[in-house]
Structure 1
């Protein structure tokens, strides 16, 4: 596999966020039909945007959505995740990736969701990384 873009940003963030949030929170890439029974859930999805510098540095745009039973709880968890991503992820090394600059645009905000029994708060992050 070529070095450019070889960081699986979704997998890396899912593992990193699961370790940060602990066992009471589910972190995944895809939602399923049991979402109401699995709250809170954090969904991590790389967007079809971003790019690379032609060498090793990958610039990924990633949506991170928090699903929770109340707006306040979803907002609080999304804010906590934003804090971790902006202050703790840069400089982090895993077995397969090194993370650099992280920005959030827009910051976490309420996003519509068709099921009124839960609330969704999300943000888009720009994350720079390269293979370890």
Structure 2
């Protein structure tokens, strides 16, 4: 649960990305055993960050794309990066997004299942609740 005066950035991004991507991908926080049946899948996970102790949050977020081919994963990861970089100045899911920065551009990442490919990037988001 998010602390008072903060926004759960995973919930915010999952809902927003699912809306942007529509039926083109499944967006979630955790992977499950049906991953091969749900490709492409986008996993959103907060991996760190800082805050000011009041309202401003700097969330560090990994966004991984799982797809049947490397090309499909690379293409979807690039689309997501473009969407993320257009977020500053937006109000999304009860939060004002002040800044988005690519910390690590999408790259191929290892995954133990050789039946699919994983491409992921890391982003920092500066955000605060609307009120």
Q: TM-score range by the shorter chain?
A: over 0.9
In 2, the alpha carbon distance for the partners of 1:101 and 1:116 equals 36
TM-score, normalised to structure 2, is 0.94
What 5-or-longer segments of structure 1 have no aligned partner?
none
Tell me the CA shift for residue 91 of structure 1: 1.2
Tell me the CA shift for residue 100 of structure 1: 1.2
Mapping 1:43-122, distance limit 5 Å: 43-47=43-47, 49-87=48-86, 89-122=87-120
Tell me the CA shift for residue 7 of structure 1: 0.4
| Structure 2 equivalent of residue 32 of structure 1 | 32
Residue by residue, what CA displacement relative to the aligned partner does 1:26-55 show, whole Å, maximum 9, x if unpaired?
0000000000000000000001x2111232
Call closer, same or farther: CA 1:100–1:72 in 2, change over 3 Å.
same
TM-score, normalised to structure 1, is 0.93
In 1, the alpha carbon distance for the partners of 2:93 and 2:50 equals 22
| Structure 2 equivalent of residue 41 of structure 1 | 41
In 1, the alpha carbon distance for the partners of 2:10 and 2:110 equals 22
Partner SS state of residue 32, structure 1: coil
| Structure 1 equivalent of residue 9 of structure 2 | 9
What 5-or-longer segments of structure 2 have no aligned partner?
none
| CA RMSD between the two structures | 1.0
In 1, the alpha carbon distance for the partners of 2:88 and 2:18 equals 17
Aligned length: 128
